[in-house]
Structure 1
Amino acid sequence: MTHPLRRGAAYAIGGAACFAAMSALVKTVGGDLPNSVVVFFRNAFALLVLLPWIAWSPGKRASFSTRRPGMHLLRATTGLAAMYCFFYALSQMQLASAVLLNYSQPLFLPFIAWAWLGERPPLRIYPAVLIGFVGVILILKPGMGWAGPAGIAGLAAGILAATSMAAIRRMSDTEPAVRIVLWFSVLGTLVSAVPAAMHWQTPSPTQWSALAGLGVIAAGGQLLLTRAYALAPAAHIGALIYTTVLFAALIGWLVWGERPDMLSGVGGLCVIAAALIVVVMRQRGSRTARA
């Protein structure tokens, strides 16, 4: 790889490690604190970290002024809903399984983009998507001691995250990345403050540290991925992001002694393989369409 590609890959893997660590911290505090409180502090502390980066961004990119507030609101609503679902799944499931379900979003994105943006997915991705859905079924195991509401929440997180990504794609022709991040960070903090106040529980000193840590780490991961996408092709970065699952599995094993059963392991491999195939094929299709 060329030097920028190597740097992009390093940033992507660093971002993946951050998101795995953030997920572990959510799991640590999620069993003792209300989900709404955890989501609020994840957004609030991340906003504090991101504000200097946003302020230093050049020109009008960091401006809050926009002609598409409705799209920003839709993106924030779906992204925040995905966060609530994901955090709940993390508190109830094995770390790697919850992360895997959340990262199933590439399986849904082509069809959401087709219905919403008119971007019809190529026929060649359908076998990969089918394999991915088989993997999701193996992870959820309906009728066989299945994951229950937590598994459904994890899957819903993937669908909602895919919808949020489609919203970003819809407005990226006029909205710079910095403005999209700014709107989501502010709206996410303000909106999540309401349910947090309704279910307030004062964190302990240890929980305060974990909450601050997960917000800071989430912001760091976001910044690393932003830099990675600036240096390397999206398909390469999209593939490397799945190292998050490997980091999550390692943390789950070391901290909680979690060992996935055979069906979940096979299902996880199916989801990762299918998602990678879809990401690469969509990227190639985009290049062909532009050529």
Structure 2
Amino acid sequence: MNTKPLLPLSGLAYGALLILASEFFLVCAGMVIKHLNGVVSTEQTVFFRNAFALLLLLPWLWRNGVQAVKTDCLHLHFLRSLLGVTAMSCMFYAWGHLPLAQSALLKQTMPLFVPIVAFFWVGERLSWRNFVAIGLGFAGVLLVLNPFQEAAVFNLAVVLGLFGAVMGGSTKVSIRRMRSSEEPALRVVFYFALFASVLSVIPAALAWLPLTGETLLWLFLLGVLATLAQWLLTAAYGHAPAGQLGAFTYASVIFAAVLGWWLWGESLSLLAIAGIGTIIAAGLLVMLGQPRLPVARLVEDGA
């Protein structure tokens, strides 16, 4: 998606503002998931998030016609959707069962897994910087989760959150494969919403819980927030290289910590804050080792 800046800002500054807005709406989507926990199943939440996103994209499809979704890499779209739905399901469970800041933090471990997945999938080499960053990242996770004092923190939500980050890293590698075909960003978003809706409908039916009108409104709001976050992120990477903007995605941890404290009384220990700083440093180290692309057709999954 290409957008013209409304303010007299540089490409980097405008892209950074879009990233910050995207991360804020992403955390707001996580808040809706947390609010709905126990009211609807995770499987239902995943289905409605994608179904409502697809509904929001129908006007774009109507204006541009079938030509807008013609593609030569349908198999990659399906693979990305399969990986993305898996990542989304895991992360949604984490959003619903962990403090908001911890959920956001687990999502932000995703860049640490991208070099590992790329090594095994497409043969990209791992540099010393990657090894150091991965080690730092997992040290930061240990600091935040503090297993030495709170053994119970190693629960299913944490395991699924980390597995979701691995799957999310896999979607990033699949997007790299699609870049060679010059797939437009909105086409990528559309096929993800389409295939993700199809893939998630059967699990949702098997785990169905009764829905009220108010619950449907919350689910629609989730679809709006998540799709808006996705579009803003896509627009941001059209204004500056991913390597320059990636650091701003960590704002989601700050947003989540503040909102989690304000709404649910969640707090972070000094050890957790140190862990967050370590993970951010590790993520920045990974980004420094990535080639700078002029425009990145990047769309994240997870909310």
Question: Is 1:182 matched with 2:190?
Answer: yes
Task: Output the CA distance in 1 between the equivalents of 2:108 and 2:97.
Answer: 17
Match of 2:262 in 1: 254
Tell me the CA shift for residue 214 of structure 1: 0.9
- Identify which range, 94-103 or 134-143, moves more after superposition: 134-143
Question: Is 1:154 matched with 2:161?
Answer: yes
Match of 1:221 in 2: 229
In structure 1, stretches of 5+ residues that fail to align are none
Describe how 1:131-146 pairs up with structure 2 within 5 A: 131-142=136-147, 144-145=150-151, 146=153
Residue in structure 1 matching 2:205, options 197, 200, 212: 197
The sequence identity of aligned pairs, in percent, is 37
Match of 1:37 in 2: 44
- Report the AA paired with residue 188 of structure 2: I
Match of 2:10 in 1: 3
Task: Output the CA distance in 2 between the equivalents of 1:268 and 1:117.
Answer: 30
Match of 1:171 in 2: 178
Describe how 1:114-129 pairs up with structure 2 within 5 A: 114-129=119-134
Tell me the CA shift for residue 118 of structure 1: 1.6
Match of 2:95 in 1: 90
| CA deviations over 1:202-255 (Å, ceiling 9, x no partner) | 223332221111110111111111111111111222111111111111110111
In structure 2, stretches of 5+ residues that fail to align are 1-7, 295-303
Task: Output the CA distance in 2 between the equivalents of 1:169 and 1:12.
Answer: 20
User: Which contiguous aligned blocks of 4+ residues in structure 1 show a shift greater than 6 angstroms?
Assistant: none
CA contact (8 A) 1:42 1:212 kept: yes
Root-mean-square deviation (Å) = 2.1
CA contact (8 A) 1:79 1:160 kept: yes
- Report the AA paired with residue 89 of structure 2: Y
| CA deviations over 1:21-63 (Å, ceiling 9, x no partner) | 0011111102321111111111111122233345556994x21
Task: Output the CA distance in 1 between the equivalents of 2:57 and 2:30.
Answer: 19
TM-score, with length taken from structure 2: 0.87
- Identify which range, 178-187 or 122-131, moves more after superposition: 122-131
CA contact (8 A) 1:78 1:163 kept: yes
More helix by share: 1
Task: Output the CA distance in 1 between the equivalents of 2:269 and 2:62.
Answer: 47
